[in-house]
Chains A and B, each alone.
Chain A
Amino acid sequence: MSKLAYVREKEIPQSAPPITEVGIIKWLRENLFSSWLNSILTVLSLYFIFILLKDFIPWAYGAHWTTGSIRECYDVNPDVACFSVLTARWKQLLFGFYPPEEYWRPTLTFFLLILSIIPILFTRFVRFFWFSLLYPGLAIWLLWGGSIWSVAIIYFGLGLGFLSFLIMDSRLIRSASISLLAACLITVLFFMFLASFSAEMLSSLIPIYLPYVESLKFGGFTLSLIVGVTGIVASFPLGIVLALGRQSDLPLVKMICVGFIEFIRGVPLITLLFVASVLLNYFLPPGSNFDIVLRVIIMVTLFSAAYMAEVIRGGLAGLPVGQHEASAALGLTYWQSQRLIIMPQALKISIPGIVNTFIGLFKDTTLVSIISLMDPVGLASLIRADTKWNGIYWELYIAVGLMFFIFCFGMSQYSQYLERKLKTDN
C-alpha cells in the first residue's frame, strides 16, 4: 500500500464555531475593526457623530413648542429650539392659503392618493387599478371644487374615444392607425360640441358642487405634492415616448425628439418656470385664464420628461440587439415588441435612474417659490417675514426638509424593493 493512500474511517461531528466567529463580536471585528486603518476610521466617525449630536440633542430635546413668538422663546431659554413656530403655523405649511373650513379636501385627497398608488406599486392589488384611473379626476374635483360633472364629462369623453377605438380596431376597420385617428376625431368632436352643454345640463339636473378654490390659494406641502405627483405621473410616459422617438427610423420624429430633449436639458428649470409665469401671458390671448398651477406642472413635466427620456434611452441601449431580433423573428409587431419585450427590460435596467429623476423632480418643485407660489420653502420665507417669527431659521427648514426627506426616502426604498423583486437571474 502506498503512503499517499488515505481513507477516512471516523466521521468528524459538527461543532460550534469559536466565539470570535459568531454574533456581535464577529460583526464588530469584520465590519468596524478589521484593520488598523478601519479602526481609526471607525473611531473618527464615532467622534464626528458625537460632535453632531452633542449640540443637536439638547437643542431639540428641550425645545419650546407653545410660546407665541420667537421673543418669548428667547426670553425663556435662547439655547434651545423654538418649535412653537410649527405649532402656530403647521396648517399653513401643509395647506398654504387654502380656506381652513375646506382643509378636509386636500387631506382626503392625500389619503386617497395613497390608496390609488397601492395598485400601481404592488402587483398584488392590481385588481383595484380602476381606482387609480379614477383618482386624477376625483383629486381635481376635490382640490379645485366646482361641479362634479365637468370632471365626469372629461372621463366620459375619454372613455368614449377609447371604446370607439376598441370597437373600430377589433370589429369595423381592423387597422390600428386609422381607428386611432377616427377615435381621436370622435373625442375632439365630443369635447367641442357636446361636452360643455351636457356638463351644464347634468349640473342643473343633479347638482353636486364643492365650493371653488382658486389656484393662487394653493400652497404648502399640498402644492408640492400636486406639482410633484402630477409631474411624475405625466413625465414618465412622455419620457418613454421621447426615448423611443429618439431611436426612431423616421428622421423627422427623431429630429423633433432630439431637439426637444437637448433644448430642455440645456435650459435651467428656473428659466422655464419664469416662462410659465410671465412670458406665456404675452403669447396667450388677453383675458384667457390659463391656470398658473397647470402652467407650472406642464413646465416641470416637460423638464423631467427630457431627463427621463435620456435615462430610458440608456436602458434601451443596454439591451442586446438579439432581443429585438428574437421578437421580430417570432412575428411580433414593432409596438408589441416594444411593449412586451423591450420596455419591460429597459425600464427595469433604468429603475435607479428613473427614481433618481422622480426624486429630483419632487425636490425641484421648491423652485416654484421663485415665481412667488407658496410652496413650503416660499412659506418659510413668508413666515420669517412675520415680526413674531423674524429671526427663526433652523426650526422651519428642518421641518420642511424632513417632510421632503420622508417622501424621497420612501421613493428610494420602493425602488430598491422593486429591483429586488424584478431580479430574475441568479
Chain B
Amino acid sequence: MNAMNPVTADNGVNVAALLGAREALEQAPQAARFDWRASCQWVRGTHTRTQVGDFFGLGGEQQRKASFTFETDHPEVFAAEDQGATPVEMVLAGLGGCLVAGVASVAQMRGIQLRSVTARIEGSMDIRGILGMDGSVRNGFDDVRVTFDIDADASRADIEALVAQSQKRSAVFDILANPVNVSVQVR
C-alpha cells in the first residue's frame, strides 16, 4: 500500500494510540458511544457565548484541563455588532478542522510526511431562505466547497487519496452531507 515511511514520518499524530483504541473498542463496543456537548448563552442582540468542556465517552464522564469559549454574532451587514464568527462560519470551521485533522492522521498512518496543509472552506446560501421570503429556498448551505493546498512527500495521486480518505472518515463531512434527526425542546 502507501506505507512508505511509517517510522520516520512525524505529523504529530499518535497513530499507535489510535490503533490501540480501535483494538480496545473491538472488545468493548459500548465504550465507543460518545456524547458531545456545548452550552450556549445569549449575550445581547445576536451575540452569543458558547462553552465546551466535559463530554461523555469511553464509558464515563470525561473532564478536560480547561473549557473553551466561542463567541458568535453576525456581521454589520446584518445590522448586528460583529462580536464573533457567524454560526454558519463555525460550521465551516468544524468541517475544516475535521478534514485537516483527518488528512494529518491518514498521512501519519500511511507514512507520508506533511510540510503544510491549508484548506479553504466555502459555503454558499441564498438568504431568502432564512429571511422567510421564499419557501422553496432552503435555509442552510446549498453548496459547500473545500480546496486543499498540501505540500508533502508524496505523489499527487497519494495526496488526492489522503483527502478522499479523510472525507470518508470525517464526522463533520458526514454531518453535513447526510441527514440527522435533531430534536429541540424547552425545559
Asked whether A and B interact, the reply is: no
